Amino acid sequence: MDSRSTGNTAGAASSRIGLIREHFRTLRHHRTNQLLWSDFLLQLPLPVALGAASWWFGARINDASAIVGGASVLSGFLFGVVIYVFQIRQGLSHDPRVQRQALLPQLVDELFANVLYAVVVSFVLTGAALVTAATQEHTKQGVLVPTPPWITGALMLVAVHLFAVVWMCVKRLRSSYRELKDEAHLQSTTR
């Protein structure tokens, strides 16, 4: 039985942590297993720095509902990509041409972890922006009051982190394509 059927919240929390852990485990080179420092810096310190800077300099968002629209469209798109990558992985497990090539399924598994994590981050951004937009105050004249800088900083942090994760997905997809292309080239030269 899983945590959903038993009401075990500890199991559900473990599942969420596992999803985050799986994503961050992919920040290693697929051949050498070395930590990809540029990806790590892009996904954690950069969003924190930009979020802190926007708070520090007093940046404000005039209308948080604009973020809701963009983030929700991106969330839906990423959710569709998760389903597509899942189907690709399912097909790879039954493809005899891929059975002798271990790197391509590994890259697709890492892509799945990255896209799944991106969905979660985009849902967090959408939810946070939705709450912000719903609670944003108006002046007596009906004009929206810009968000406090700390809210702007928090939304900036999550948005930049999301873009960094999506960039990681693009890089992983490129690596998968290269691996597939190299394998096809090897097969054509050995015939």
CB 71, CB 125: distance < 8 Å: yes
**Per-residue pLDDT of the chain in tens (191 residues, 90 and over written 9):** 444 444 555 555 556 678 888 888 888 877 788 888 888 888 999 999 999 999 999 999 999 999 999 999 999 999 999 999 888 888 877 776 666 666 778 888 888 999 999 999 999 999 999 999 999 998 899 889 999 999 999 999 999 999 999 999 998 888 888 877 766 555 666 65
Instruction: For residues 46 and 160, give the distance between their C-alpha atoms in angstroms, rounded to a whole number.
Output: 8
Give the three-state DSSP class for 28: strand
Q: Where are the domains of the chain?
A: 3-189
Q: How many residues does the chain have?
A: 191
pTM as predicted: 0.82
Q: How many other β-carbons are positioned within 10 Å of the β-carbon of residue 169?
A: 22
